Amino acid sequence: MINKILQQQTCENIADYSETQVPVTVELVSVTPGPGDNQTFCYTVTQVDEPIALSHWLLGICPTITLEDIVEVTVTINGVPQTVILDPDDPDVNVEIRTIENPDPTTGCVGLKFDFGLEEAGDVMTVCFELTTTYPIGPNVVCIKGGQVTENALSVCGPVCGITEVCETTVFQNIGVCVPVTITPFAEVGPIDITCCGTATVSNVPCPIGAPPSCTFYVRQTICAEVPISFSATGDPGDAVVSCGEPNQAGCNCNGNGNGIG
């Protein structure tokens, strides 16, 4: 039953931390009974070696699941049933849901927290919890804590809110760009120095009548303008267009032109 379910999902049925500083494995061993009834997940947690023993662990379940959605939780260690306390107001609570707003204080992880540990290599913890609703099965982050070490890089199959595949594509478009550039040259005349050519003369000869009050001459210079221009573009997406096909119970049909829009 479990193998058939897992073959349909993009997740692993075991999170193998055996090569880390906290060498444990967390494995999903059963999901029962199936759609239409309460859904029960069972996991085994095994202490593979002893450098650092497991102190507690979290399963990153669907964040919409609350304690009211959990019917029952059982925990056994080496076959011995453990006392499970779900009441958040009880100071000895050992199974609780940690959220983004209230994460596990020592790891920062979120999900269903099991505050049970293991001590020696070969110790095995079995955890089962029953949900009132049937959830899709997908990857759940497994966060483990031992000593001062936290590991949270691996996932295991468990209840998720839904699995949505994200399809990405890259679009290229050639765009011709024309930029008008206007150059306005100018010239600045610096301070004019006057030098007296000899001494002034005095005579009875009057100044010429009608002589211009100033002297004008012309200076020409060729200039070269270097204009750096950079071309780029930004993209603003428009509104997505949705085309709805006929609903069915047979599965997705991706045949056709591929764009899904008529």
**Distance from the first to the final alpha carbon of the chain:** 40
141 phi, psi to nearest 5 deg = -65, 130
Cβ contacts of residue 37 below 8 Å, gap of 6+?
134
Phi, then psi, of 179 in degrees rounded to 5: -120, 115
pTM: 0.60
pLDDT at 6: 42
CA atoms of 65 and 39, how far apart (whole Å): 13
In this predicted structure, what is the pLDDT of residue 253? 67
Calculate the CA 248 to chain-centre distance.
Answer: 33
Torsion of CA 41, 35, 67, 13, to 10 degrees: 30
Which regions of 6-110 does DSSP assign to beta strands (E)?
Answer: 14-16, 24-32, 39-47, 56-59, 70-77, 80-81, 95-98
State the Cα–Cα distance between residues 21 and 242, nearest whole angstrom.
49
- The C-alpha atoms of residue 78 and residue 89 are separated, in whole angstroms, by 29
Report which of 156, 146, 160, 163 is spatially closest to residue 43, judged by C-alpha positions. 156
The rounded average pLDDT for each run of 10 residues, N- to C-terminus, in the chain (262 residues) is 48 94 96 78 95 95 93 95 94 95 95 96 96 91 96 95 68 88 86 86 85 84 88 80 78 59 50
Give the CATH superfamily of 2-159.
Answer: Mu homology domain, subdomain B (2.60.40.1170)
The domain segmentation of the chain, as residue ranges, is: 2-159
Residue pair 7/135 in contact by the 8 Å Cβ criterion: no
SS3 217: coil
pLDDT at position 35? 53
What is the predicted pLDDT for the residue at 117? 96
Task: Please give the Cα distance from 162 to 27 (Å, whole number).
Answer: 21
